[in-house]
Amino acid sequence: MSNLSMTHPPTSLQSRGLGQLSCVGVRQYVLRFPLMLIECVGESGKTTLIKQMIELYGAGFSIKERKALTRIVYCNILNSIRTLIEWSHKLESRGIQGTEISDLNIVHEEYITNLSAGTRINSEIANHIEELWNDPGLMMTYENRSKFQLFSNADYFLDRIQEIGKREYIPSKTDVLRCRVQTTGIIETEFVIDDFEFRMVDVGGQRTERKKWVHCFEDVSAVIFVAAISEYDEFLYEDESVPRMREALCIFDEICNSRWFAKSSLILFLNKRDLFDRKLP
């Protein structure tokens, strides 16, 4: 994802929460600065945008804050490997060849499937996950990931499973940027750049979350619309018959024609080029 750049780094920064970002509002408190809003479908990379600003222009993430995200990383990994296991069977039943997990790795599949929610990943669990991740059938399932919902950074964490399974593991700065928590409700992050104080408002990107915030931003002077170009072949969590890109275009149309943003400038930010490049032949 592209890094942001500013003329001066913020002198102070407070974060009240992180999650799946759908809109970011910057409100004027000191001197004059335009309010900004960032909006698109869920998992378009807007939370990463917020976290990069905290890391690059604020105090960054302390060890305590990074430790607090350890269980989120575990959850991302377990959900990802279980999703791959589930879809290896579904794709096989739909006639897609090569997605069946080998007989030698069935024991690892059963072990992972039977783990309870919130399990801490240790070295033993990491070994089971690594064997499954290296299974040809599961790798073929991963290659067909556009046919189902899979965490976009699943491969990043699964490739590093042995490191993550160590007792002393603490999420790195990159891990913090890449882990995912879906936002529900509204979360705010505040920071100051010289004489300017900003408040960034973070809300959920899924359909059920959008209705909670759109009417709150009628004073927006600039709208930054973020869309993940890597999602051109992916579908919504809420409705797997609807392509994410089509949904993004619909939301873009709503924002452009909304009475709440009639006087707002509009900027389109195309995100996740790195993932897009990896999908190209």
d(CA 55, CA 61): 6
Q: Kindly name the residue from 20, 99, 189, 206 that is annotated as catalytic.
A: 206
Query: Is 48 among the residues known to form the active site?
Result: yes
**Catalytic: which of 48, 83, 141, 189?**
48
Q: Is 64 helix (H, G, I), strand (E, B) or coil?
A: helix
- Among residues 202, 209, 231, 234, the one annotated as catalytic is 202
Catalytic-labelled residue, pool 27, 39, 43, 145: 43
Return the closest-CA partner of residue 109 out of 96, 100, 118: 100
Of 161, 148, 175, 138, the residue nearest 235 (C-alpha)? 148
How far is CA 270 from its chain centroid?
Answer: 15
The strand pair at 36-39 and 222-228 is best described as parallel
Q: Which residue has the tokens 């039943």?
A: 93
Binding-site positions: 43-48, 177-183, 202-206, 271-274
Annotated binding-site members for GTP: 43-48, 177-183, 202-206, 271-274
Q: Look up residue 35 and give its amino acid.
A: L
The rounded distance, in Å, linking the Cα atoms of 50 and 209 is: 18
Binding-site residues for Mg(2+), in ranges, read 47, 183
Cβ pair 183, 196 in contact under 8 A:
no
For residue 28, give every residue at least 6 positions away whose Cβ sits within 8 Å of its Cβ, in sequence order, or none: 34, 35
Is 175 among the catalytic positions?
A: no
- The verdict on whether 180 is a catalytic residue reads yes
Instruction: Exactly one of 27, 180, 210, 244 is catalytic; name it.
Output: 180
| Burial class of residue 22 in the structure, from the number of CB atoms within 10 Å of its CB (0-12 exposed, 13-18 middle, 19+ buried) | buried
233: annotated active-site residue: no
178-208 burial, b at 16+ Cβ within 10 Å, e below that, comes to bbbeebeebbbbbbbbeebbbbbbbbbbbbe
Catalytic residues: 43, 48, 180, 202, 206
